[in-house]
Amino acid sequence: MDNKTTNSLLRKLLCMTLVLTLVFSLTACKDRTDPSSSSESSETSSQGNPLDEPEPGDLGEPEAPKQDVVDKIVAAYNKNNDVVGWLTYPNTTIDAAVMQGDDNVFYERKNELKQYNWYGCYFADAGNTFGTRNELTSNTIIYGHNMSDKTDDVKFSQLFKLVDFNGDGVVNKADESVANPNLDFATNNPYLYFSTADDDMVWIIYAAFFTDTDFQYHLEKPDTATFQKIIDEAKSRSELIYDVDVKTSDKILTLSTCTYKYGGESNKQQRFVVQARLLRAGETVEETVKVTKNPNPKAPTFSNGY
């Protein structure tokens, strides 16, 4: 029996356990092969070749997900066993199942039922593994579309609320020179919730940035030195300065979408990215965090001249 078949059977057994007994078991998921995408709009992963894995940090013990999250995951899984978890960002429309295909192209234009849909769905990088927080790869990457850089309800479009500093509902270069930037959304919504059937997990945002695709922010299993560079680079590029420290012993969550800020739709080398780290043992959810506008974020550079 190959790894893919074994992984599928484990997911089915997990789902049956959730439905029939509501008792959670730990699942061991295989590490999927990193794909390369030929699609222009693909958020393609570059899988690392780790030589020195980060030492485990104090991530805390896995926690059973809340019943409403369990019910959502089970319902979604019963329709499509590619479901790996549930993503929620409070005060946005981001509240949906996360799928995972065998590559990073399959779900680009398909919904949660594997039907063609221009807006696609939320899908995890094919190189990620899932289970408890201890079984996650160092960097869990979730991709989603947006269509206009407006803070509308199209998939990851509402992530732009973090950097819509003039509050006009559109993200563009006009936000860069706002004298009194509106930081209310970022200050009051610093937490992301991504949970699996095995673990209830809360993540605190530490960076929100525009980038060129030369920055390899989507390495799932970087070695320690590379992981530190990803963290440092994300913070230097971030439009916002969060009072949140990040270590290579942490697990991080990366939300990646397209953007049209630099050169419009013709520039395929630009992305908007939000990164967060898993809350550590003993940390609790606070109402707000300290956030300021970065006066000089590192700007993207594009080989195509934009």
**Residue 61: inside a domain, yes or no?**
yes
Confidence label for 57 from pLDDT (cuts 50, 70 and 90):
low
**Residue 37: inside a domain, yes or no?**
no
Q: Tens of pLDDT along 236-293?
A: 999 999 999 999 999 999 999 999 999 898 899 999 999 999 999 999 999 889 999 9
Backbone torsion region of residue 72, taken as left when φ is above 0, otherwise alpha when ψ lies between -120 and 50, otherwise beta: alpha
- Quick one: pLDDT at residue 133? 98
**Residue 174: inside a domain, yes or no?**
yes
Confidence label for 73 from pLDDT (cuts 50, 70 and 90):
very high
The pair of structure tokens assigned to 255 is: 């939300």
CATH (domain of 205): 2.40.260.10
225-251 burial code (b ≥16 CB/10 A, e <16)? ebbebbbebbbebbbbbbebebebebb
**Residue 148: inside a domain, yes or no?**
yes
**Residue 198: inside a domain, yes or no?**
yes
Whole-model pTM: value is: 0.83
**Residue 284: inside a domain, yes or no?**
yes
Phi, psi values for residue 73, rounded to 5°: -65, -45
Residue 242's domain comprises: 51-293
Domain count of the chain? 1
- Quick one: pLDDT at residue 7? 42
pLDDT tops 60 at residue 66: yes
- Quick one: pLDDT at residue 147? 85
Residue found under tokens 């946005």: 92
Q: Tens of pLDDT along 163-216?
A: 999 999 999 999 999 999 999 999 999 999 999 999 999 999 999 999 999 999
**Residue 41: inside a domain, yes or no?**
no
**Residue 19: inside a domain, yes or no?**
no
